[in-house]
């Protein structure tokens, strides 16, 4: 398997351009999968309490982002509602002014 990862296929004259691209992408994919496997092995070797603590930190950060997102959506909702009520008030003033005159 390691021979496939280290072979430079671009020097081969027997491969078409499509075959060359496929082999190069396969090499890239295999390297990324090897890296992912190494990261997973590292995570598995960590003690469980440390993994749980890391997950708690991530969970608190996600909760903060979610809260900020909800606040932003609520703010946009209030701005929209305020703009609509201003439009309604302007229409009310115009209709009242035309009724009085």
Tens digit of each residue's pLDDT, the chain (101 residues): 678 788 888 888 898 999 989 999 999 999 999 999 999 998 888 788 888 899 999 999 999 999 999 999 999 888 888 887 777 666 666 766 666 65
For residues 1 and 29, give the distance between their C-alpha atoms in angstroms, rounded to a whole number.
13
| Helix H or strand E encompassing 81 | helix 48-100
Sign of the CA dihedral running 52, 53, 56, 62: negative
Extents of the domains making up the chain: 1-45, 47-101
- The whole-number pLDDT of residue 98 equals 63
C-alpha angle 10-13-17 in degrees, rounded to nearest 5: 60
Q: Which of 30, 12, 29 lies closest to 20, judged by CA?
A: 12
Asked whether the whole model's pTM tops 0.85, one would answer no
């Amino acid at each position: 398997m390691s021979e496939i990862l280290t072979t430079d296929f671009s020097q081969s004259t027997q491969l078409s351009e499509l075959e060359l691209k496929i082999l190069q992408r396969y090499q890239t994919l295999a390297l990324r999968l090897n890296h992912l496997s190494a990261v997973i092995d590292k995570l598995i070797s960590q003690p469980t309490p440390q993994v749980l603590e890391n997950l708690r930190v991530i969970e608190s950060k996600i909760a903060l982002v979610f809260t900020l997102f909800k606040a932003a959506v609520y703010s946009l909702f209030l701005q929209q509602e305020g703009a609509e009520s201003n439009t309604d008030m302007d229409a009310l003033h115009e209709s009242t002014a035309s009724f009085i005159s």
